[in-house]
Structure 1
Amino acid sequence: MIPLVVRPEPQAHSLCRSLLEAGHQPVASPLLSFSEGAGLRSLPALFDPLTHRDYVITVSVPAVTFTDNALRRRALAWPAANYVAVGDATGRALAGAGITGATVPEDPRSEGIVSLPGLQTLDGCRVVILRGDGGRHMIAPTLEQRGARVDYCEVYRRHYRTDPDGSLVKSWQSAGVDSIIVTSGGLLTHVFQLAAHAKDWLLSRLLIVPSVRVADSARRLGFTQVINAEGASNQALIAALDERKRNDRQ
């Protein structure tokens, strides 16, 4: 198959390499990049009061990477708190930063985070949520109702690639893209906006997504061929694509 890979680097390169090894012909077109967020300046004030009773929730790999780099520049350490990592890749990023034993919810959505046993009773606890600009706002209100003081810290900003003359989408069409791998709701929305002038073509592509939430969003947009890979790892995404490839051969 000829899947379009739109996730940011270096994950895009890694996924394309794995797709090639699996016999696919990927088209790399990263649509998202990141830069430092204004919240990095607030890290010392947010981290200093944290104790072993408190929590740090990291929502993505960039959240860990930008935070760790900022701490290293200032010769500061991660606080001795409890850690929650949204997704296995984020858990591995924390381990790479020296934080082991982070809790990784099976459900990577906000609903999965707030359902963790350790976050049910939080009287007097502090929670710092490391994330990018924007995002859902369900976590903080729920944890505050349980007695926590919650602070969001926007440690990175997202930058989406534009396509003012439509040449990027035309290049996808010329390459024979028959499937699209999107790994977040934000990327799904951006792909849909970029290809608004080629809507019929776009909605007829097979779509591989990482979760039920993104799958539901895709169907609301009009996609009819949606496969939930149940994860954003290379292995999960390729397994979903291979399953469709096998079915097409039968």
Structure 2
Amino acid sequence: MIVVTRPSPEGEILTQRLIQANLPAMHLPFFNISIGDGLLHLQTELNQLTPLDIVIVVSPQVSHIIKTNLPNLLFPAHISYFAIGYKSAELFKQLSQKNVSYPKQENSEGLLQLLDLQPVKNRTILILRGDFGRQLLTEELTQKGAKVRLLQCYRRKAIHYPANILNDYINKQIIVITSVEHLLQLDVYCHIEHKQHAYLMVTSLRIFAKATQLQWQKVLLVDNANNQTLFEALIALSHQPTTNLKN
């Protein structure tokens, strides 16, 4: 069983693709997404940015929540827009009608490398994010002299499941984790047998390091968090003899 923990709608889309490929999969999101405390101040924050300033979009949820709650938001043309990955960039481009750059390595580390190509010192960087996460971006950009501002566009609220929801067929599980926060929530439902026998597919070195710290034994790192990369990696893994999910 492939367990996809990423939020809706991306998690549901990936799960459906896996099912269409005749692989057993279920969507098990760990958080509900709701409007963040800073969202209603977004227009004011955008209006205060000056030429050479930067906006960073950390996830597809940013665009989803803006589209639902601020359909008439105006995006300045004189600033630069970046996103963590392709999906985040594509959704924000559709929303803003502006060019949005994103790194080939679709995570915080990749975006920092992309931003190394231009000076950020003394530039204001507005990071559109959830209620936590992306500390690496904030710390690294601040060290480079940028004036980083964080805006909470959405909030996460943990979804509670039965404690034994992942107890069946542990040795045939592949669990997809796309953030450290999801990994920590996974710990609520897992025990030592999971960490010894289930496969964990993660999307960044930071998640990989944390999973190792939490004593997961079978951790697989993929380059990007986009659904296509995850789909291809899951197809390849699921057809290996040791992880054949159909047996």
Kindly indicate whether the alpha-carbon contact (under 8 Å) linking 1:27 and 1:175 is maintained by their aligned counterparts in 2.
Answer: no
Distance 1:17 1:224, change over 3 A: same
Distance 1:215 1:146, change over 3 A: closer
Kindly indicate whether the alpha-carbon contact (under 8 Å) linking 2:179 and 2:207 is maintained by their aligned counterparts in 1.
Answer: yes
1:154 maps to which residue?
A: 152
- Alignment identity in percent? 27
Is residue 22 of structure 1 aligned with residue 21 of structure 2?
A: yes
Quote the Cα distance in structure 1 between the aligned partners of 2:106 and 2:124.
21
Kindly indicate whether the alpha-carbon contact (under 8 Å) linking 1:68 and 1:97 is maintained by their aligned counterparts in 2.
Answer: yes
C-alpha deviation, 1:10, in angstroms? 1.7
TM-score w.r.t. length of structure 2: 0.85
Kindly indicate whether the alpha-carbon contact (under 8 Å) linking 2:62 and 2:129 is maintained by their aligned counterparts in 1.
Answer: yes
Kindly indicate whether the alpha-carbon contact (under 8 Å) linking 2:90 and 2:100 is maintained by their aligned counterparts in 1.
Answer: no
200, 205, 226: which one aligns with 1:207: 200
TM-score w.r.t. length of structure 1: 0.84
Task: Please provide the CA RMSD for this pair.
Answer: 2.6
1:193 maps to which residue?
A: 188
Q: What amino acid does structure 2 have at the position aligned with 1:194?
A: Y
Kindly provide the CA deviation profile for residues 72-91 of structure 1, in whole angstroms up to 9, marking residues without a partner as x.
2xx33012210010011101
2:215 maps to which residue?
A: 222
Quote the Cα distance in structure 1 between the aligned partners of 2:129 and 2:196.
30
Distance 1:135 1:201, change over 3 A: closer
Give the stretch that moved more between structures: 78-87 or 239-248.
Answer: 239-248
Is residue 76 of structure 1 aligned with residue 73 of structure 2?
A: yes
Unpaired segments ≥5 residues, structure 2: none
Q: What amino acid does structure 2 have at the position aligned with 1:12?
A: G
Quote the Cα distance in structure 2 between the aligned partners of 1:93 and 1:4.
25
C-alpha deviation, 1:145, in angstroms? 4.3
Quote the Cα distance in structure 1 between the aligned partners of 2:144 and 2:169.
53
1:183 maps to which residue?
A: 178
Distance 1:235 1:114, change over 3 A: closer
Quote the Cα distance in structure 1 between the aligned partners of 2:2 and 2:184.
18
Unpaired segments ≥5 residues, structure 1: none
Which protein is richer in helix relative to its size?
Answer: 1
Distance 1:183 1:110, change over 3 A: closer
Distance 1:221 1:52, change over 3 A: same
